[in-house]
Amino acid sequence: MYTLLSGLYKYMFQKDEYCVLILGLDNAGKTLLILSVDLKKSKIRCSSCCSLTFLCLLTVGTIDVGKARLMFWDLGGQDELQSLWDKYYAESHGVIYVIDSTDEERLSESKEAFEKMISSEVLEGVPLLVLANKQDVPNCLSVPDIKTAFSDSAPKIGKRDCLVQPCTALTGDGVNEGIEWMVKCVVRNIHRPPRQKDIT
C-alpha cells in the first residue's frame, strides 16, 4: 500500500529534475539563450556575482517540459572562470555549448575550451548540444563551417548523443528545438538518473 501511495505522490507532486550546463566563451550569447527559452514557463535568477569584476559567475534558469524540469546553469565563459566549469560536471545531466558564429577570430579559443570540457571523464555519456548562435548575422559561420573547424574533437565526443543546432538567441529561432532535443536525451540517459523535486 505504501508503494502505491508513494508512486501516486511522485506522479502528482514531483518532477524529474535534470541539470544542464550552458558553457562557451564570454559574449557567445549564453545568458540570452536562457532568456529566449519560453519565458512563460521559465524562472531566471542570478545566483552569484563577483563584486570585484562585476561578472556574473552563475545564472540559473528553470523550465518545465512535460514531467521533466530542466535547471540551466549558465557558467561564466571568461578565462578565469573556465577553470571552475569542472566543479559542476558531476551534477550535470547534459551540456549545451554555445559558439558565437560571428567571431571567427576566437573560434580556435572556443575549440580549445570545448576540447578541455569534452575530454573530462566525468562528462562521459552526457548528451551534448552545440548551439551555433547568432545565425541571423550576415556572413556568419555556418553549421558546416563550425563542424569542420571542430572536426578534430569528434573522436572525443564518443557515443554520447550530440547535435549541432543553428540558432539565434536574440529571437529564439532554433533554441526551443535544441531544448526539446536535450529533454529527450536526458530523460532516456539511464547513466544519469534525475533528481526528484516537489512541484512548486
Binding residues for GTP: 24-31, 77, 133-136
In whole angstroms, give the CA distance from residue 27 to residue 186. Answer: 27
SS3 letters for 38-67? CCCCEEEEEEEECCCCCCEEEEEEEEEECC
> What would the grid cell of residue 183 be?
529533454
Residues flagged as binding site for Mg(2+):
31, 51
| C-beta of residue 47 within 8 angstroms of C-beta of residue 73 | no
| C-beta of residue 95 within 8 angstroms of C-beta of residue 128 | yes
Residues flagged as binding site:
24-31, 51, 77, 133-136
> What would the grid cell of residue 115 be?
576540447
In whole angstroms, give the CA distance from residue 169 to residue 175. Answer: 7
| C-beta of residue 5 within 8 angstroms of C-beta of residue 78 | no
